[in-house]
C-alpha cells in the first residue's frame, strides 16, 4: 500500500511514476484510512508522514491524529512492514509537539528505509536500501517544449520557505549590473504570508515574472524549456525532484554546493550541474552559468531508469517483509 490516496493532476510526478512502475512488479494499492487500518496488505510505503496530520482546521487535524494512531497500532501489532523513503533528513517545517511525537513513532516503527542518495542519515537504525530518484524523461515526453531564451532563468515548483525563492528575487531586484537576466518564478506559495512577501520584494521590477499558482505538467514543461537555466536557491538542499526534472528536460541547473550536489554533478556532468559556492553572490553565479549556455546532447541519467528503480523497490519490499516477520 502506497501512502498516496489517489493519482491526481496535483500529485507529485515522482509518486505517479513510482506507483505505475512498481505496479508492474507488485500488487500496489493506493491509500485509504479504512484499508490502512482494516485491510490486508504486506507492506505500507510512506513518503512524507507529516502529510497524514495536515488539515485545514483543528477538528480535522485531531481526527487525522486519531486515524494515524490507529494505523500505527496496526503496524505495531501485526506483521505488516513499514517502508519509508527518506526524501529529507528532517521535516522542513517544525511540527506541533503532538505531531512531533507521532513522527517519532513513525521512525520507531520503520522496518526499512529507502534512501535516494548514499549520504542520507536516517532517523532510526533500521536497515537501508539505496535506490536513486528516477528521472522524468518518459513522464514529460508528450508535452510540447519551447525554444529557450538565452537570458531567462526559471524557478519552478511548490514555493516553501526553505527554498529561498524570496532571497533570489530580492538579489535580482537589487542587482544593478548592466548585463541583466530575467527570472520567471512559477509555483504556488505555501501560505499567504510568503505570497505577499514575494509580491512586495518583486515590486514592479521588469526582470521578475511571478506566476504564483499551481502549474500543471504541461505548464511546467513550458516554463522550464523556455529558460536556459533552472535555479534552486534552496537554503537546505538534500534531494530535489526539480533538479532532476530540469535535467530530464535537458536544461542545466544551478544548485547549492554540498556533498549531495557534487555527487550529482559527477554523475551527470559539470556542464549540466553548476554549483553555487558560498563565496559567490547569486546573480554572479547565474551570469556565469548562463554564459556557458545549454550544453549539447543530454545529461547522463542512465542510473535513474524507472525499470531498474521499480525492480529495486520490489526487492526492498520483500526484504522488509522478511525483516518484519523475523521480528514477530
Per residue in 120-137, pLDDT tens? 999 999 999 999 999 999
pTM of the predicted structure, to 2 decimals: 0.91
Distance CA 310, CA 38 (A): 27
Res 236 pLDDT > 90: no
Farthest CA pair distance, the chain: 68
**Closest by alpha carbon to 14, among 124, 149, 157, 146?**
157
Res 91 pLDDT > 80: no
Q: What is the mean pLDDT of the chain?
A: 93
At residue 79, the 3 state secondary structure works out as: coil
Distance CA 226, CA 111 (A): 43
CB 128 within 8 A of CB 194: no
| pLDDT number for residue 279 | 82
The band of 110, judged by pLDDT with boundaries at 50, 70 and 90, is very high
At residue 246, the 3 state secondary structure works out as: helix
| pLDDT number for residue 280 | 86
| pLDDT number for residue 187 | 95
C-alpha cell at 171: 538579489
Direct distance between the N- and C-terminal alpha carbons of the chain, in angstroms, rounded to an integer: 20
The band of 92, judged by pLDDT with boundaries at 50, 70 and 90, is low
Res 111 pLDDT > 80: yes
Instruction: Pick the more confident residue, 177 or 202.
Output: 202
Q: Which CATH class is domain 152-301?
A: alpha beta
Domain edges within the chain? 13-134+305-327, 152-301
C-alpha cell at 169: 528575487
Res 55 pLDDT > 90: no
CB 111 within 8 A of CB 323: yes
Amino acid at each position: 500500500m502506497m501512502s498516496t490516496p489517489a493519482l491526481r493532476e496535483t500529485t507529485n510526478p515522482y509518486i505517479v511514476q513510482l506507483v505505475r512502475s512498481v505496479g508492474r512488479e507488485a500488487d500496489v494499492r493506493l491509500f485509504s484510512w479504512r484499508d490502512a487500518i482494516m485491510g490486508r496488505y504486506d507492506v505500507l510505503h510512506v513518503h512524507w508522514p507529516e502529510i497524514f496530520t495536515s488539515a485545514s482546521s483543528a477538528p480535522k487535524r485531531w481526527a487525522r491524529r486519531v486515524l494515524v494512531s490507529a494505523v500505527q497500532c496496526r503496524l505495531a501489532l501485526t506483521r505488516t512492514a513499514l517502508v519509508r523513503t527518506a526524501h529529507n533528513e528532517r521535516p522542513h517545517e517544525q511540527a506541533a509537539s503532538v505531531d512531533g511525537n507521532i513522527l517519532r513513532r513513525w521512525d520507531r516503527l520503520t522496518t526499512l528505509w529507502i534512501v535516494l542518495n548514499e549520504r542520507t542519515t536516517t532517523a532510526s537504525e533500521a536497515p537501508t536500501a539505496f535506490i536513486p530518484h528516477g528521472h522524468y524523461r518518459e513522464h514529460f515526453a508528450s508535452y510540447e517544449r519551447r525554444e529557450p531564451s538565452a537570458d531567462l532563468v526559471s524557478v519552478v515548483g511548490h514555493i516553501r520557505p526553505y527554498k529561498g525563492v524570496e532571497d533570489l528575487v530580492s538579489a535580482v531586484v537589487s542587482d544593478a549590473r548592466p548585463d541583466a537576466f530575467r527570472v520567471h518564478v512559477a509555483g504556488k506559495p505555501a501560505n499567504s504570508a510568503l505570497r505577499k512577501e514575494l509580491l512586495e520584494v518583486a515590486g514592479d521590477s521588469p526582470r521578475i515574472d511571478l506566476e504564483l499558482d499551481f502549474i500543471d505538467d504541461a505548464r511546467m514543461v513550458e516554463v522550464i524549456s523556455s529558460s536556459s537555466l533552472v535555479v534552486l536557491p534552496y537554503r537546505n538542499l538534500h534531494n530535489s525532484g526539480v533538479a532532476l526534472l530540469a535535467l530530464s528536460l535537458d536544461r542545466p541547473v544551478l544548485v547549492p554546493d554540498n556533498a549531495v550536489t557534487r555527487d550529482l554533478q559527477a554523475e551527470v556532468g559539470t556542464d549540466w550541474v553548476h554549483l553555487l559556492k558560498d563565496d559567490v553572490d547569486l546573480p554572479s553565479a547565474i551570469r556565469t552559468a548562463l554564459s556557458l549556455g545549454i550544453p549539447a546532447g543530454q545529461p547522463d541519467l542512465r542510473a535513474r531508469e524507472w525499470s531498474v528503480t521499480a525492480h529495486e523497490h520490489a526487492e526492498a519490499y520483500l526484504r522488509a517483509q522478511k525483516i518484519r516477520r523475523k521480528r514477530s
